[in-house]
Each structure stands twice: as C-alpha cells, then as structure tokens.
C-alpha cells in the first residue's frame, strides 16, 4: 500500500544541485550502507539511501518531493555528514497531522535509528547474563547500562511489520493486524538488528537507558497502561546482547552481575 505525501504542496525551487543529472543509486542492495556512500554530494540520493522503505511506501516521486522540501528547509554541507537527514522523521510530522503521514514518519524514525546505530561507538556486551532468572529482591537495586547503539521507537501503527515486509524486492506483504508496535534497534556486534518489543518494553528500556534501577523501570512500564512482563523484557535484552554493564545500587560501584 502506497501513502502519498502530496500534501507537501507544489515543488519548491531547490539549489543548484537539482539542475544537474543526479547519479543513479545502485539498487542491487538498496539497504546496504554502501549505497549511502555512493554520492556524498547528492542530498536527495543520501536521503533515499537512508530511508529506502519510506521511499518504497510513498513511491519515489512523492519521496523526492518531500526530500526537496526538507533540503530547502535544512540545506546540507558538502560533503554531506552521516547525520544529515536524522531529523527527517520530525520534519515529516511537522508538515501534516494526517494518520498516513504519522505512519510513514514512524517507519522513517526506525530507519533513522538503524543508520545511527551503524555509526555508534563500539562497546563489548557482557557475556552469560541471567537477569531474567534473578529473584525480585536481587533485581531491585540493579542498574543496567545498555549498549550505546540502542535506539527505541514506538508508534500506534505497525511500523516494525511494515519495515520487515519491505526487506526484499518483492511487493510488500499485506499487514493483517493494524496495531501499534515498538522496536529496539541496536548493533551489539557487526550487524544492526531490529527487534520488536514486548508489551511495555519501550517504557522499560527507556527508563533503563535513563539510569533508573530495574525495579523503578519495571514500575514505570507497568504504569504505562500495558500488560508488562519483566521476565520477557529482561530475556529480550539478554538475547540481544545489549547489556554492557550492571551496577548494584549506584552507578560507579563495581560493574558485575549479582548472583
């Protein structure tokens, strides 16, 4: 299903780079970081490489129109920095309150987090974690340090399913259940991974990333109005290898797993 961004209005005159022929992007692997480096002087090409699923969802003409509006509002330097376009999702939301634009902006935010994770600092995950098996009283005072590449996104739309359905050259599969989804994006090792979060996971991981104890983060997640399962959420971060430190009581004490 395509979602038009035509409400961005008539095309606005753009700087001199649009008067020349834009280099074609290699399409054999449109999700590869190689395509994002193809032409560091072509802002529309950079945005297209950074947001390939958004481009596919809205069709290329509509995407290029939105990209031109963005470039006029936020001209890039030459060569273009890796961070250019990180606020494209916010730009989309600022232009319309329509549900279809909010949906596309949510997918754009997921793609933006994948790009940021690719360039995030490296940190070694802790091995052999068993947080999900610890008793509640041992969890209460623990603070978990998450990998620096982690990004969190939440939407009232099925943005993770939409992204997953557009990872091949085949037409995107139909989304059967239009429900809200949240995701964790991280690069604990070589590859960037996207994981759908269980109920309450976004609030829980957000609280952990802000330095809250496991007990406080769990309480905040439970108060968010969802059916929160702390074991499922702890197991997720264990399996994702995104824990780089565990402190008892206060940050600054010895980093270790309390058994």
Chain centroid offset of residue 25 CA: 23
Contacts of 106 (CB under 8 A, 6+ apart): 89, 153, 155, 157, 159
Q: What's the pLDDT score for residue 247?
A: 87
Query: In terms of Cα–Cα distance, which of 121, 146, 118 is closest to 131?
Result: 146
With 80 as the cut, is the pLDDT of residue 190 above it?
yes
Q: Which pTM was predicted?
A: 0.79
| Least confident range of 31-35, 109-113, 165-169, 243-247 | 31-35
User: Taking all residues of the chain, what is their mean pLDDT, rounded to a whole number?
Assistant: 82
Quick one: pLDDT at residue 21? 29
The predicted-structure confidence for 115-170, as pLDDT tens digits, reads as follows 999 999 999 999 867 777 777 777 778 899 999 999 999 999 999 999 999 988 77
- Of the candidates 29, 3, 47, the one whose C-alpha atom is nearest the C-alpha of residue 169 is 29
pLDDT tens figures, 69-110: 999 999 988 888 999 999 999 999 998 889 999 999 999 999
Report the range of poorest mean pLDDT among 33-47, 150-164, 229-243. Answer: 33-47
Portion of the chain with pLDDT greater than 90, in percent: 61
């Amino acid at each position: 299903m395509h979602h038009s961004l035509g409400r961005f209005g008539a095309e606005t005159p753009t700087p001199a780079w649009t008067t020349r022929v834009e280099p074609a992007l290699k399409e054999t692997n449109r999700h590869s970081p190689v395509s994002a480096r193809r032409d560091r002087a072509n802002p529309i090409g950079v945005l297209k490489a950074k947001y390939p699923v958004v481009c596919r969802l809205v069709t290329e003409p509509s995407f290029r129109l939105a990209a031109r509006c963005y470039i006029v509002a936020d001209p890039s330097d030459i060569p273009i920095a890796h961070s250019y376009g990180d606020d494209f999702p916010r730009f989309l939301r600022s232009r319309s309150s329509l549900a279809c634009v909010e949906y596309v902006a949510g997918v754009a935010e997921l793609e933006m987090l994948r790009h940021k994770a690719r360039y995030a600092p490296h940190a070694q995950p802790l091995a052999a974690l068993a947080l999900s098996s610890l008793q509640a009283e041992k969890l209460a005072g623990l603070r978990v340090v998450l990998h620096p590449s982690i990004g969190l996104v939440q939407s009232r739309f099925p943005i993770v399913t939409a992204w997953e359905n557009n990872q091949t050259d085949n037409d995107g599969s139909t989304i059967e259940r239009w429900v809200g989804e949240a995701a964790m994006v991280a690069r604990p090792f070589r590859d960037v991974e996207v994981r759908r979060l269980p109920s309450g996971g976004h609030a829980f991981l957000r609280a952990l990333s802000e330095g809250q104890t496991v007990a406080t983060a769990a309480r905040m997640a439970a108060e968010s109005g969802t059916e929160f399962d702390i074991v499922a959420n702890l197991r997720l971060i264990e399996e994702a290898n995104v824990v780089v430190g565990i402190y008892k009581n206060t940050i600054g004490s010895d980093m270790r797993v309390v058994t």
